[in-house]
Homo-oligomer: A and B are copies of this chain.
Amino acid sequence: MIIMKKDATQAEIEGVVAEASKYGVHCDVSRGEVLTIIGLVGDEHKVPFSHLEVMPGVKEVRMIETPYKLISREYNEAFQGKDESRIIKLKGVEIGGAEPVYIAGPCAIESRTQLMRIAEEVKRAGAHVLRGGIFKPRSSVHSFQGLGAKGADEAREALSWLREAGERFEMPVVTEARGESQVNLIAEYVDIIQIGARNMYDQDLLGYVGRAGKPVLFKRNFGASIEEFLSFSEYIAAEGNRDIILCERGVLPIGKGKNLTRYTLDLAAVPVIKRETYLPVIVDPSHATGRRDLIRTMSAAAVAAGAGGLAIEVHYNPAESWVDAQQAITPAELKDIIDDCRQIHKIVKG
C-alpha cells in the first residue's frame, strides 16, 4: 500500500500508478478526504518498494499484513479519516442501514405460480428482498439441480419470473450463480447475485461476479475461518465492487455422533466481521440449522448478535418443497420472526 502525501498532485499519483503497474500489479486508487492511498493488488513479489518510496508525492509505503485490506474497517478509517459502514441501497431497501433486512423466498423456484404466491406472501409478512434458487448447488449429481439446469431457455424463463415477481411485489431479487457462465445471464435479471458457500474459494468466479456490476451476497464456506472468508471477499472487492453482503450460514459440526443441526451456526462471526470490515453481515438460519423448528429462535439470536439481516427459506407448504423441505417455514411464521426481530433490534442497537 502506497500512501500519498496530503498535497500530492494528480500527476504524482498517476506517476506512481504507472510505475507500479510495470511490475504486473493492479493499482486500486482510493481518494479519501484525508489521504490518497494506492493499494496494490496481485503479485507484489517483484515490486521494488524501496524505489517507489522515494517517488514524488509518496508519503510512505506500508506493508499491510492483512489479506483483506480493501474491505477492512481499519484501512478505511486510517486513510479515509472516518468510520463508516457500507449501506447498499436497492429500490428503496437499505442493506447495512438502520434496520435489519429480511430476505425470503423458496429454496428453489419450481414454477411461476409457486414463485408468485410465495413472493406475495413473504412481502405481506414483511420481507424486503425476494430470493429463489434457479441454479442449485447439490451434493449429488443425481439430485434436482434447479430449473436452470434444464437448459438455457428454462433458465431465462425462471429468471424472468423472478424479475417479474420482484417488480410486481416491489422487492429487489437475488439468486445464486454457481458458475462463471451464469454470472452475466443472472446479472441481466436480478438486483443481487449470490455466491454460495461451496463456491467461496472459487476465485475466478469471484472475479467474474466482482465485474458484473451488481451487489453480491457472499456466503462463508462451511470449512472456512473468518479470516479466509474475508480474504476471499477481497477477490470481489479487488474488482472495484464494494457492494458485498457477507452471510454466515454455519460451519462444519464437530464431534462423533449427531449434532442435531445441519451445520454449526457461528453467530460470534457477526460482531467479529462487523468490527473487521465496513460491510453488512447477514445470517442464514435455514441452511445453518436445517430444521424448521429452530428458525424462529436462531433468527432472534442472530439479530441479537447484531445481524444486519436474515436470509430465510419460505414456502406456503414446506412439506411440498422440492429441495430442503425440512428447513422451510411458512409466511405466517416469517411474520412472527420479523416481529420478534424488530423488538430485539431495538434493544441491542443501543
Q: Which residues of B contact A330 (CB under 8 A)?
A: none
Interface residues of A in 5-45 (CB under 8 A from B): 24, 40-45
User: How many copies of this kind of chain does the complex include?
Assistant: 4
Interface flag for A98 (CB, 8 Å): no
Interface residues of A in 139-159 (CB under 8 A from B): 139-145, 149-150
Kindly provide the distance from the CB of A65 to the nearest chain B CB, expressed in whole angstroms: 10
Q: Which residues of B contact A207 (CB under 8 A)?
A: 179
Q: Which residues of B contact A322 (CB under 8 A)?
A: 45
Q: Which residues of B contact A224 (CB under 8 A)?
A: 223, 254-255
Cβ A300 vs Cβ B348 within 8 A: yes
Contacts known (A149-B42, A301-B301); A268 close to B258, Cβ less than 8 A: no
Interface flag for A204 (CB, 8 Å): yes
Q: Which residues of B contact A87 (CB under 8 A)?
A: none
Expressed in whole angstroms, the Cα–Cα distance for A322 and B45 within the complex equals 8
Contacts known (A24-B150, A150-B24); A294 close to B268, Cβ less than 8 A: yes
Interface flag for A178 (CB, 8 Å): yes
Q: Which residues of B contact A251 (CB under 8 A)?
A: 254-255, 264
> A238 — nearest CB in chain B belongs to which residue?
B141
In the complex, per-residue mask of A244-288: 1 if CB is within 8 Å of any chain B CB, else 0: 000000011111111111001111111110011000000000001
> A266 — nearest CB in chain B belongs to which residue?
B264
> A221 — nearest CB in chain B belongs to which residue?
B223
Q: Which residues of B contact A268 (CB under 8 A)?
A: 261, 264-265, 288-289, 294, 297-298
Cβ A142 vs Cβ B67 within 8 A: yes
> A346 — nearest CB in chain B belongs to which residue?
B343
Contacts known (A256-B228, A257-B139); A297 close to B305, Cβ less than 8 A: yes
- Name the segment of A52-60, A76-84, A195-203 touching the other chain: A195-203
Expressed in whole angstroms, the Cα–Cα distance for A304 and B251 within the complex equals 20
Q: Which residues of B contact A226 (CB under 8 A)?
A: 255, 257-261
Interface residues of A in 185-226 (CB under 8 A from B): 198-199, 201-205, 207-208, 221-226
Expressed in whole angstroms, the Cα–Cα distance for A305 and B296 within the complex equals 9
Expressed in whole angstroms, the Cα–Cα distance for A42 and B154 within the complex equals 15
Cβ A204 vs Cβ B178 within 8 A: yes
Q: Which residues of B contact A261 (CB under 8 A)?
A: 226, 268-269, 272
Expressed in whole angstroms, the Cα–Cα distance for A77 and B180 within the complex equals 37
Cβ A182 vs Cβ B203 within 8 A: no
Cβ A304 vs Cβ B301 within 8 A: yes
Cβ B260 vs Cβ A272 within 8 A: yes
Interface flag for A137 (CB, 8 Å): yes
User: 8 interchain pairs (CB within 8 A)?
Assistant: A42-B141, A45-B322, A137-B201, A140-B231, A141-B231, A225-B259, A227-B258, A227-B259
Ranked nearest first, the 6 interchain pairs of A and B with the lowest CB-CB distance are A223-B223, A179-B204, A225-B255, A227-B257, A67-B140, A198-B201
